[in-house]
Chain A
Amino acid sequence: MQRDQAREHAIPYATLVKVWLALLCLTALLVFVSKAYHEALSVWAMLTITPLKAGLVFFYFMHLKYERTYIKAMVLVTLALLVLFIGLIFLDISFR
C-alpha cells in the first residue's frame, strides 16, 4: 500500500510549471529552426524536438514516469508498432 500511494502521489506544482516552461522553450526553438531556411536542419529539428516534447507530456503531465512497468511497456509497444508501420510504408515507397 505504501508503494501504491507513492505512485499516486501528486506531482508538485513547481515540477509541472517547469515542464510547461520547457515545452514552450522547445516550441520556440522548433519555430526558430524551421524559419532558418535550412531544409535538412529543420527536418532534424522536427524529428528530435517534437518527440522530445511529446515525451515530456507523457512522462510528467500524464504521470507515465510514476506508473508501473507494465503500463510503460504497453505505451512503448504501441508506439513501437506505429513506428514499425511507418518504417514499413517507407520501405514500400522507396522500392517502387
Chain B
Amino acid sequence: MSTATDGAHGDFEGAKLGMWLFLFTEILLFGGLFLLYSAYRSVYPRDFHNGGQHLNAVIGVANTVLLLTSSLTVALAVTALRRGERRLSRLCLGATVALGCLFLFNKYLEWSAEIRHGIYPNSPQLLERPGGEQLFYGLYYSMTGLHGLHVLAGVVLLSVMLVMLRREGAARSDYTKLYNSGLYWHLVDVIWIFLLPLFYLAA
C-alpha cells in the first residue's frame, strides 16, 4: 500500500512507527521522574506547596505560551510542506526555532535568578530548609533541566530540517523527516504542559 507510493527508501508508515516507539521511551523516561514527583509530593505536601511559592510563575506561563505557539508553527510547517508550499514551511519552521531559543533564554534568566538567590542543589541556603523543599528543588532542577536539554536537541534538529528544506527536490523523504521531527517537538511540548502545573502552579 504505502510502499507503492513511497518507493524503497521512503516507508513513511515504518518511519513514523519507529519515531513513536522512540517517543514511548521518552514518555517512560520522564514518567519515572513524574512518578518520583507525585510520590514525594504526597509525602511532603506542605513543603512542595512552599517550594512552589518561590518559583516565578510568570516565566513559567510565558514559556508555556512560547512552546504551545512553537508547536502550532511546526504543525503548520508540516501541513505547508505536505501542500508543497516550501517557502511557507521554512518560514513556520524558522519561527519554531526562534521560539525554542526564546524559551531557552527565559530558562537561562530564570535559573540564574534562582542561583543568585542561593537556590540550587546542595546550596547552603537550601540545606537549611525542610527536607521536602530540598526534594522539590532537586526535582525542579532535574526535570526542567532534562526538559531543557530536550528543547535544545529539538532546536538543533529543527535547524537541520530548516537547512534541508532550503535545497529543492526530494520532497517525499523531506516530508517524512520533518513530520517525525515535528512529533518529537510536540512531545517536548506535552512534557512541559505537565511541568507547568507541577512546579510553577504548585503553590
Interaction A to B: yes
**A11-40 contacts to B (CB < 8 Å):** 11-13, 16-17, 19-20, 23-24, 27, 30-31, 34
Chain B min CB distance to A77 (Å)? 9
Q: Which B positions have Cβ atoms within 8 angstroms of A? A: 1-2, 4-5, 12-13, 16-17, 20, 24, 27-28, 31, 34-35, 38-39, 42-43, 57, 61, 64-65, 68-69, 71-72, 74-76, 78-79, 82-83, 182-183, 186-187, 189-190, 193-194, 196-198, 201
**A49-88 contacts to B (CB < 8 Å):** 50, 53-54, 57-58, 60-62, 71, 74-75, 78-79, 81-82, 85-86
Instruction: A10-B83, A58-B186, A62-B187 are known; give 11 further A-B pairs, CB within 8 A.
Output: A1-B2, A3-B1, A5-B5, A9-B82, A11-B79, A54-B190, A78-B24, A82-B34, A85-B31, A85-B35, A86-B34
What's the count of A-B pairs with C-beta under 8 Å? 111
* Interface pairs A-B: 7 shortest CB-CB: A10-B82, A20-B72, A34-B201, A10-B79, A82-B31, A46-B197, A78-B24
Dominant SS at the A interface? Answer: helix
Chain B min CB distance to A88 (Å)? 9
Number of interface residues of A (CB under 8 A): 43
Q: A8-B12, A50-B193, A58-B190 are in contact. Are A16 and B72 (CB under 8 A)?
A: yes
Chain B min CB distance to A47 (Å)? 9
A78 pairs with B38, CB closer than 8 A = no
Q: A31-B201, A82-B31, A86-B38 are in contact. Are A10 and B78 (CB under 8 A)?
A: yes
Complex Cα gap A78–B190 (Å): 15
Q: Which A positions have Cβ atoms within 8 angstroms of B? A: 1, 3-5, 8-13, 16-17, 19-20, 23-24, 27, 30-31, 34, 42, 46, 50, 53-54, 57-58, 60-62, 71, 74-75, 78-79, 81-82, 85-86, 89-90, 93-94
Residues of B within 8 A of A46 (CB): 197-198, 201
Complex Cα gap A14–B31 (Å): 33
Contact of B69 among A20, A30, A74 (CB under 8 A): A20
Q: A10-B78, A27-B64, A90-B42 are in contact. Are A57 and B71 (CB under 8 A)?
A: yes
